Amino acid sequence: MGGSALADQLVEVLLEAGVERIYGVVGDSLNPVVDAVRRAAGISWIHVRNEEAGAFAAAAEAQLTGRLAVCAGSCGPGNTHLIQGLYDANRTGAPVVAIASHIPSLQVGLDFFQETHPERLLMECSSYCELISQPEQMPRVARSAVQHALGRGGVAVLAISGDVLHRDQAFATGKTAGVIANATPAPAPEQVRALASRLNEARTVTLFCGAGVEHSHAEVMQLAGRLQSPVGHTLRGKEWIQYDNPYDVGMSGLLGYGACYEASHEADLLVLLGTDFPYQDFLPGANTVQVDHDAVRLGRRTLLELAVHGDVGATLRAVLPLVQQKTDRSFLDRMLHRHAEALEQVVSAYTHDIEHHLPIHPEYAARILDEVAAEDAVFTVDTGMNNVWAARYITPNGRRRVIGSFRHGSMANALPHALGAQLAYPGRQVISMSGDGGLGMLLGELLTVSMHQLPVKIITFNNSALGMVKLEMLVDGLPDDQTDNSTFDYAAIARAAGIHSLRVEQPANVEPALMEALAHPGPALVDLVTDANALSIPPHITAGQVKGFALGAGKVVLDGGVGRMAELARANVRNIPRPPLVGP
């Protein structure tokens, strides 16, 4: 390492932790870090237009790769902008270090120009948030931040004044061995035995899977086969468990579909696997056991008969030898049929003349996007109706990734998430499913895409509205108000920024436009003019439910199509062994 300022030491520690880039916007107090990055080999500065986007990009990079990612904001307003993306990263457990540079150290406490207190302000969106006020704290505090981000998963903030960053290093950096992989907690033996006896005693069991089943597809399938149990999932669990799954009964929650809700409520025992699913109204509230690697999550959503602290894979490997083979698969078969029927119904309701619908039906466009996207594409999904389209139309296969602001629920995440995804995987197809509201909120990031020539594919579902909120108002019985985004041609805007762009108003042009954009070697945007009123409310909602029904609080599931999910459900029903091992 060349330099001897504290900023150089900070950069050395980040390099040691495998960091390749820092997302941010330069500025006075941050400039020593920028200069240290310029002089260092193996790390680069990624200039974004808004620090919020930098934090989202780091969140996506960290979430996708599991490796440490870094963003930075200059003193006061520069790091205030980081907040949204840091919340997103922290709640997702994505290892991110945020460098929040601070006003001159001698001015702190005097209401100086740009004064904030980043070490207080950013506490709530991090698990480590410390001020470095003198060189002697380094390099240990920087290493501690790295360790918190990687060890706990989530955000660690380092607040440091520009003048301190300029000072000479007090101690040599040295070398230390970092974390390569965290341990997977194994459950206590008595909990394994208790789990086994519950599973053996219950006549019927349903497994409900969240993001914690990543790496445990095989174990979950083995357990489902042993128990003859339906397997449902959350939005975050979907990418890990829905593919190659003959027990699939779909997704629960407001955006859910299929028979997951019924399977969860009708089973003798519901097993929550690696999920912190927050909507208690979708859970039965009884006959439930939970397995999670993070003990603080146990029992906070519902009453439990048994709480098992352990990694899902480790727990299932430990319990499987003690679980007896169930021979009666009538419950499973009933739920698979129910699931297929539920999907058949919505498909026939929705597919009528869809390819001629004007404005373009967003579900039609989502279905085509699913078909033409690469088998290992990374989809980043904006908060809003795109969550619904992605949940229902993007078919997981174990290689694709689908990420969004699924825990924090912030708008405008998709495009900046795509920046981080594309930088982490330069050769991979990265598709931002953007709402027009979301794109407009961080529109400046089109300039980031163009400036760095990141080949992301931005697909806007441009319904000229805050569509999700329109729907909320409708189900709330409120008049639709202030949800109009006005009509803009995002293709023209992107073209002016030097991005290859297409605007699509006719359904017949959706497929050729998407194919052209996906095949384009550089950045591309497809502005799909879609129908803001595409999503219907299920017919069985009562007036009482419509009145005062808050999104996310009820157990009403939105209506709509389900894409290739219907084919999978049909195939699972076709594959039910005949005759059943033991009839009902």
Ligand X SMILES: Cc1ncc(C[n+]2csc(CCOP(=O)(O)OP(=O)(O)O)c2C)c(N)n1
For the chain, count helices (H), then strands (E).
Answer: 24, 18
438 touches ligand X by CB under 6 A: yes
Q: For 355-423, give the DSSP string.
A: GG-SSBPHHHHHHHHHHHS-TT-EEEE-SSHHHHHHHHH----SS-EEEE-TTT--TT-HHHHHHHHHH
Could you report how far apart the first and last alpha carbons of the chain are, in Å? 72
Q: Which is nearer to Mg ion, 241 or 418 (CB)?
A: 418
Residues 17, 385, 510, 566: which binds ligand X (CB under 6 A)?
385
Residue 191 contact, options Mg ion, ligand X, none, Cβ 5-8 Å cut-off depending on partner type? none
Q: Which is nearer to Mg ion, 50 or 463 (CB)?
A: 463
Residue 365 contact, options ligand X, Mg ion, none, Cβ 5-8 Å cut-off depending on partner type? none
Q: Which is nearer to ligand X, 283 or 469 (CB)?
A: 469
Residues 118, 404, 435, 560: which binds ligand X (CB under 6 A)?
435
Q: How many residues bind ligand X (CB under 6 A)?
A: 19
460 touches ligand X by CB under 6 A: no
Token pair for residue 32?
Answer: 């020593």
Q: Which is nearer to ligand X, 101 or 462 (CB)?
A: 462
Q: Which is nearer to ligand X, 63 or 383 (CB)?
A: 383
Q: Which is nearer to ligand X, 187 or 256 (CB)?
A: 256
Residue 383 contact, options ligand X, Mg ion, none, Cβ 5-8 Å cut-off depending on partner type? ligand X
Q: Which is nearer to ligand X, 160 or 449 (CB)?
A: 449
382 touches ligand X by CB under 6 A: yes
- Sole residue written with tokens 């920024």: 497
Residue type, 206: T
Cis before 32 (ω within 30): no
Residue 430, phi then psi, degrees to nearest 5: -120, 125
Residue 350, phi then psi, degrees to nearest 5: -95, -30
Q: How far is the CB of 186 from ligand X (least distance, A)?
A: 38
409 touches ligand X by CB under 6 A: yes
50 touches ligand X by CB under 6 A: no
Query: 477, 547 in Cβ contact below 8 A?
Result: yes
Q: What's the rounded Cα separation, in Å, for the pair 193 and 537?
A: 45
Q: How far is the CB of 399 from Mg ion (least distance, A)?
A: 29
Residues 466, 499, 525, 557: which binds ligand X (CB under 6 A)?
466
Q: How far is the CB of 484 from Mg ion (least distance, A)?
A: 10
Residue span 468-487 as binding mask against ligand X, x where in contact by CB under 6 A, dash where not: xx------------------
Sheet hosting strand 96-102, strand order edge to edge: 44-47, 21-24, 69-73, 96-102, 155-161, 128-132
Q: What's the rounded Cα separation, in Å, for the pair 294 and 96?
A: 19
H or E element at residue 289: strand 288-292
- In 109-188, which residue ranges form alpha helices assigned H by DSSP? 118-121, 140-148, 162-166
Q: How far is the CB of 393 from ligand X (least distance, A)?
A: 13
Applying CB under 6 A, the span of 23-31, 164-172, 195-203, 467-475 interacting with ligand X comes to 467-475
Q: Which is nearer to Mg ion, 156 or 468 (CB)?
A: 468
User: Which residues are at the interface with Mg ion (CB under 5 A)?
Assistant: 435-437, 463, 465, 467
Q: How far is the CB of 77 from ligand X (least distance, A)?
A: 18
Applying CB under 6 A, the span of 151-159, 215-223, 382-390, 393-401 interacting with ligand X comes to 382-390
Q: Which is nearer to Mg ion, 359 or 437 (CB)?
A: 437
In terms of DSSP bridges, do strands 205-209 and 231-233 run parallel, antiparallel, or are they unpaired?
parallel
Q: Pick from 10, 3, 2: which is nearest to 165 by CA?
A: 10
Q: How far is the CB of 536 from Mg ion (least distance, A)?
A: 17
Q: How far is the CB of 138 from ligand X (least distance, A)?
A: 35
Q: Pick from 142, 133, 137, 141: which is nearest to 163 by CA?
A: 133
Q: Which residues bind ligand X (CB under 6 A)?
A: 382-386, 409-411, 435-438, 461, 463, 465-469
